[in-house]
Chain A
Amino acid sequence: DQQVKQNSPSLSVQEGRISILNCDYTNSMFDYFLWYKKYPAEGPTFLISISSIKDKNEDGRFTVFLNKSAKHLSLHIVPSQPGDSAVYFCAADGGSTLGRLYFGRGTQLTVWP
Protein backbone atom coordinates (compact mmCIF):
# COMPACT_ATOMS: atom_id res chain seq x y z
CA ASP A 1 0.00 0.00 0.00
CA GLN A 2 1.77 3.11 -1.28
CA GLN A 3 0.89 5.94 1.10
CA VAL A 4 3.23 8.40 -0.60
CA LYS A 5 3.09 8.61 -4.36
CA GLN A 6 5.32 10.26 -6.90
CA ASN A 7 3.57 9.64 -10.18
CA SER A 8 6.24 11.06 -12.47
CA PRO A 9 9.23 8.73 -12.67
CA SER A 10 11.23 11.29 -14.61
CA LEU A 11 11.42 14.99 -15.42
CA SER A 12 13.67 16.77 -17.89
CA VAL A 13 14.25 20.54 -17.60
CA GLN A 14 16.54 23.02 -19.29
CA GLU A 15 19.14 24.79 -17.16
CA GLY A 16 17.83 28.06 -15.72
CA ARG A 17 14.19 27.00 -15.90
CA ILE A 18 11.95 25.93 -13.03
CA SER A 19 11.71 22.28 -11.98
CA ILE A 20 8.50 21.19 -10.28
CA LEU A 21 8.38 17.79 -8.63
CA ASN A 22 5.08 16.54 -7.29
CA CYS A 23 4.07 14.23 -4.47
CA ASP A 24 0.70 13.00 -3.21
CA TYR A 25 -0.11 11.23 0.03
CA THR A 26 -3.11 9.37 1.35
CA ASN A 27 -2.74 9.40 5.13
CA SER A 28 -4.13 12.53 6.80
CA MET A 29 -2.14 11.69 9.96
CA PHE A 30 1.13 12.65 8.27
CA ASP A 31 2.32 15.86 9.90
CA TYR A 32 5.80 16.42 8.54
CA PHE A 33 7.15 16.07 5.01
CA LEU A 34 10.69 15.89 3.70
CA TRP A 35 12.43 15.88 0.34
CA TYR A 36 15.61 13.91 -0.18
CA LYS A 37 18.01 14.00 -3.10
CA LYS A 38 19.97 10.95 -4.19
CA TYR A 39 22.97 10.70 -6.49
CA PRO A 40 24.03 7.32 -7.92
CA ALA A 41 25.96 5.10 -5.49
CA GLU A 42 25.22 7.45 -2.60
CA GLY A 43 22.62 7.46 0.14
CA PRO A 44 19.77 9.97 0.10
CA THR A 45 20.62 13.40 1.49
CA PHE A 46 18.12 15.69 3.18
CA LEU A 47 17.09 18.68 1.09
CA ILE A 48 14.16 20.53 2.64
CA SER A 49 11.17 19.85 4.88
CA ILE A 50 7.81 21.31 5.83
CA SER A 51 5.54 20.96 8.80
CA SER A 52 1.83 20.41 8.25
CA ILE A 53 1.09 23.70 10.02
CA LYS A 54 2.73 25.58 7.15
CA ASP A 55 1.94 25.81 3.46
CA LYS A 56 5.33 26.95 2.22
CA ASN A 57 8.97 26.63 3.16
CA GLU A 58 11.82 28.20 1.25
CA ASP A 59 15.55 27.56 1.30
CA GLY A 60 17.56 29.28 -1.37
CA ARG A 61 16.61 27.90 -4.76
CA PHE A 62 14.34 25.27 -3.20
CA THR A 63 10.74 25.84 -2.13
CA VAL A 64 8.29 23.24 -0.91
CA PHE A 65 4.56 23.88 -1.07
CA LEU A 66 1.99 21.91 0.92
CA ASN A 67 -1.72 21.70 0.12
CA LYS A 68 -3.24 19.73 2.99
CA SER A 69 -6.76 19.69 1.63
CA ALA A 70 -5.52 18.10 -1.58
CA LYS A 71 -2.93 15.95 0.25
CA HIS A 72 -0.37 17.23 -2.21
CA LEU A 73 3.06 18.76 -1.97
CA SER A 74 5.50 20.01 -4.55
CA LEU A 75 9.15 20.92 -4.71
CA HIS A 76 10.16 23.90 -6.84
CA ILE A 77 13.75 24.41 -7.91
CA VAL A 78 14.49 27.83 -9.40
CA PRO A 79 16.71 28.23 -11.32
CA SER A 80 17.55 24.62 -12.13
CA GLN A 81 21.21 23.71 -12.51
CA PRO A 82 22.88 20.63 -14.06
CA GLY A 83 24.14 19.66 -10.59
CA ASP A 84 20.53 19.25 -9.52
CA SER A 85 20.25 16.17 -11.72
CA ALA A 86 19.45 13.37 -9.27
CA VAL A 87 16.59 11.24 -7.96
CA TYR A 88 14.29 13.16 -5.64
CA PHE A 89 12.31 11.31 -2.99
CA CYS A 90 9.32 12.67 -1.16
CA ALA A 91 8.88 11.32 2.39
CA ALA A 92 6.22 11.69 5.05
CA ASP A 93 6.55 11.33 8.79
CA GLY A 94 4.15 8.81 10.25
CA GLY A 95 2.97 11.30 12.80
CA SER A 96 3.79 9.27 15.88
CA THR A 97 6.67 9.19 18.30
CA LEU A 98 8.12 6.30 16.31
CA GLY A 99 9.46 8.58 13.61
CA ARG A 100 8.87 6.23 10.71
CA LEU A 101 9.26 7.77 7.25
CA TYR A 102 7.21 6.68 4.27
CA PHE A 103 8.92 7.25 0.93
CA GLY A 104 7.64 7.69 -2.59
CA ARG A 105 9.24 5.88 -5.52
CA GLY A 106 11.25 8.91 -6.53
CA THR A 107 11.49 11.18 -9.59
CA GLN A 108 14.62 11.26 -11.73
CA LEU A 109 15.33 14.92 -12.54
CA THR A 110 17.62 15.69 -15.46
CA VAL A 111 18.72 19.27 -16.00
CA TRP A 112 20.29 19.82 -19.42
CA PRO A 113 22.42 22.80 -20.47
Chain B
Amino acid sequence: EAGVAQSPRYKIIEKRQSVAFWCNPISGHATLYWYQQILGQGPKLLIQFQNNGVVDDSQLPKDRFSAERLKGVDSTLKIQPAKLEDSAVYLCASSSRGTSGNNEQFFGPGTRLTVL
Protein backbone atom coordinates (compact mmCIF):
# COMPACT_ATOMS: atom_id res chain seq x y z
CA GLU B 1 0.00 0.00 0.00
CA ALA B 2 1.45 3.36 -1.02
CA GLY B 3 1.91 5.89 1.77
CA VAL B 4 1.13 9.59 1.91
CA ALA B 5 3.01 11.47 -0.80
CA GLN B 6 4.13 15.08 -0.52
CA SER B 7 6.00 17.46 -2.79
CA PRO B 8 8.24 19.27 -2.88
CA ARG B 9 10.46 17.90 -0.11
CA TYR B 10 12.33 21.16 0.32
CA LYS B 11 11.57 24.76 -0.58
CA ILE B 12 13.50 27.97 -0.02
CA ILE B 13 11.80 31.30 -0.69
CA GLU B 14 12.16 34.92 0.29
CA LYS B 15 9.68 36.61 2.58
CA ARG B 16 6.59 38.01 0.87
CA GLN B 17 6.82 35.36 -1.85
CA SER B 18 4.16 32.68 -2.27
CA VAL B 19 4.56 28.91 -2.05
CA ALA B 20 2.35 25.86 -2.51
CA PHE B 21 2.59 22.33 -1.19
CA TRP B 22 0.93 19.24 -2.56
CA CYS B 23 -0.31 16.10 -0.80
CA ASN B 24 -1.71 12.81 -2.03
CA PRO B 25 -3.21 10.77 0.83
CA ILE B 26 -3.48 7.03 1.17
CA SER B 27 -6.09 5.67 -1.20
CA GLY B 28 -9.49 5.47 0.42
CA HIS B 29 -8.68 7.71 3.37
CA ALA B 30 -11.48 10.22 3.76
CA THR B 31 -9.76 12.44 6.30
CA LEU B 32 -6.76 14.61 5.44
CA TYR B 33 -4.77 16.84 7.76
CA TRP B 34 -2.14 19.55 7.31
CA TYR B 35 0.23 20.14 10.21
CA GLN B 36 2.93 22.72 10.80
CA GLN B 37 5.96 21.58 12.77
CA ILE B 38 8.32 24.32 13.89
CA LEU B 39 11.79 23.23 14.95
CA GLY B 40 11.77 21.88 18.51
CA GLN B 41 8.00 21.61 18.70
CA GLY B 42 5.40 18.98 17.98
CA PRO B 43 3.15 19.07 14.93
CA LYS B 44 0.33 21.59 15.15
CA LEU B 45 -2.86 21.08 13.17
CA LEU B 46 -3.55 23.75 10.57
CA ILE B 47 -6.57 22.31 8.79
CA GLN B 48 -8.56 19.09 8.57
CA PHE B 49 -10.68 17.89 5.65
CA GLN B 50 -13.33 15.21 5.67
CA ASN B 51 -13.64 14.21 2.00
CA ASN B 52 -13.56 17.63 0.29
CA GLY B 53 -15.12 19.60 3.14
CA VAL B 54 -13.29 21.52 5.85
CA VAL B 55 -14.11 20.32 9.38
CA ASP B 56 -11.50 22.24 11.38
CA ASP B 57 -9.49 25.26 10.28
CA SER B 58 -9.47 27.08 13.58
CA GLN B 59 -5.65 27.20 13.71
CA LEU B 60 -5.12 28.25 10.09
CA PRO B 61 -3.87 31.85 9.65
CA LYS B 62 -6.46 32.63 7.02
CA ASP B 63 -4.98 35.99 6.09
CA ARG B 64 -2.07 34.22 4.42
CA PHE B 65 -2.74 30.47 4.39
CA SER B 66 -5.27 28.67 2.23
CA ALA B 67 -5.94 25.03 1.49
CA GLU B 68 -8.20 23.04 -0.72
CA ARG B 69 -8.97 19.41 -1.38
CA LEU B 70 -10.45 18.91 -4.77
CA LYS B 71 -12.60 15.85 -5.41
CA GLY B 72 -11.84 14.60 -1.91
CA VAL B 73 -8.41 13.22 -2.81
CA ASP B 74 -5.33 15.42 -3.37
CA SER B 75 -4.83 18.59 -1.40
CA THR B 76 -2.78 21.77 -1.73
CA LEU B 77 -1.70 24.18 0.98
CA LYS B 78 -0.69 27.69 -0.05
CA ILE B 79 1.06 30.50 1.78
CA GLN B 80 0.84 34.00 0.35
CA PRO B 81 2.72 36.09 1.34
CA ALA B 82 5.22 34.11 3.38
CA LYS B 83 6.77 35.43 6.58
CA LEU B 84 9.99 34.45 8.31
CA GLU B 85 8.05 32.67 11.06
CA ASP B 86 6.49 30.34 8.48
CA SER B 87 9.79 28.46 8.29
CA ALA B 88 8.81 24.94 9.36
CA VAL B 89 8.12 21.43 8.15
CA TYR B 90 4.63 21.06 6.70
CA LEU B 91 3.25 17.60 7.23
CA CYS B 92 0.29 16.03 5.52
CA ALA B 93 -1.48 13.10 7.14
CA SER B 94 -4.49 10.97 6.34
CA SER B 95 -6.71 8.57 8.23
CA SER B 96 -9.69 6.37 7.67
CA ARG B 97 -11.41 7.72 10.78
CA GLY B 98 -15.10 7.31 10.43
CA THR B 99 -14.87 3.64 9.68
CA SER B 100 -12.85 2.69 12.75
CA GLY B 101 -12.72 3.82 16.33
CA ASN B 102 -9.16 4.95 16.62
CA ASN B 103 -7.44 7.96 15.16
CA GLU B 104 -4.26 6.51 13.74
CA GLN B 105 -2.97 9.05 11.28
CA PHE B 106 -0.44 8.23 8.57
CA PHE B 107 2.05 10.97 7.81
CA GLY B 108 3.90 11.91 4.67
CA PRO B 109 7.62 12.82 4.70
CA GLY B 110 6.85 16.54 4.95
CA THR B 111 8.01 19.64 3.10
CA ARG B 112 10.73 21.67 4.78
CA LEU B 113 10.13 25.36 4.08
CA THR B 114 12.80 27.97 4.68
CA VAL B 115 11.79 31.62 4.40
CA LEU B 116 14.72 34.04 4.05
Q: Is A93 an interface residue (CB 8 A)?
A: yes
**Interface of B (DSSP majority class):** loop
Bound form: Cα–Cα A44–B3 in Å: 12
Q: How large is the interface on B (under 10, 10 to 19, 20 to 34, 35 or more residues)?
A: 20 to 34
Q: Is A99 an interface residue (CB 8 A)?
A: yes
- Please tell me if the beta carbons of B43 and A89 are within 8 angstroms of each other in the complex: yes
- Please tell me if the beta carbons of A100 and B104 are within 8 angstroms of each other in the complex: no
Q: Which of A58-66, A77-85, A103-111 contacts B (4 or more CB under 8 A)?
A: A103-111
- Please tell me if the beta carbons of B107 and A44 are within 8 angstroms of each other in the complex: yes
Q: Is A41 an interface residue (CB 8 A)?
A: yes
Q: Is B87 an interface residue (CB 8 A)?
A: no
Given A43-B91, A44-B43, A89-B42; A101-B56 close (CB under 8 Å): no
Given A42-B109, A98-B55; A105-B41 close (CB under 8 Å): yes
Q: Is B83 an interface residue (CB 8 A)?
A: no
- Please tell me if the beta carbons of A99 and B104 are within 8 angstroms of each other in the complex: no
Candidates B31, B41, B56, B108; contact of A43 at CB < 8 Å: B108
- Please tell me if the beta carbons of A100 and B45 are within 8 angstroms of each other in the complex: yes
**What is B's interface to A at a CB cutoff of 8 Å?**
4, 31, 40-45, 48, 55-56, 91, 93, 95, 97, 102-110
**What is A's interface to B at a CB cutoff of 8 Å?**
4, 6, 32, 34, 36, 41-46, 49, 51, 89, 91, 93, 98-101, 103-106
For the complex of A and B, list the 7 residue pairs with the smallest distance between their C-beta atoms, beginning with the closest. A103-B42, A43-B107, A99-B97, A93-B103, A99-B103, A44-B107, A103-B43
